[in-house]
């Protein structure tokens, strides 16, 4: 899932630059480029959430550390 998200974000960045160079920068958040960027960021957010939920080491550290 992480590789897919990075791949999507790389494609979006390339498309964004091409659109900017050609002069089609109007489709910032409305167009397909914005939607693809949000999809890529969403996939990375879900991956980070899954990693955090699976990592018991951080839970143990947070519970056992002296405050």
Contact partners, residue 13, CB within 8 Å, separation at least 6: none
Whole-model pTM above 0.75? no
Distance CA 33, CA 16 (A): 7
What are the E-state strand segments in 1-67?
A: none
Higher pLDDT, 46 or 54: 46
Q: How far is CA 20 from CA 6, 12, 33, 38, in A?
A: 21, 12, 11, 18
Three-point CA angle 38, 17, 48, nearest 5°: 30
Domain ranges (residues) in the chain = 2-61
Model confidence band, residue 61 (pLDDT cutoffs 50, 70, 90): low
Per DSSP, the residues of 40-53 read HHHHHHHHHHHHHH
């Amino acid at each position: 899932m992480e590789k897919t998200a990075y791949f999507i974000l790389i494609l979006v960045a390339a498309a964004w630059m091409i659109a900017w160079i050609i002069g089609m920068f109007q489709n910032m958040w409305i167009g397909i480029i914005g939607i693809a960027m949000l999809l890529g960021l969403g996939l990375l957010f879900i991956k980070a959430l899954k990693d955090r939920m699976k990592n018991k080491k951080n839970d143990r550290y947070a519970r056992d550390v002296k405050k």
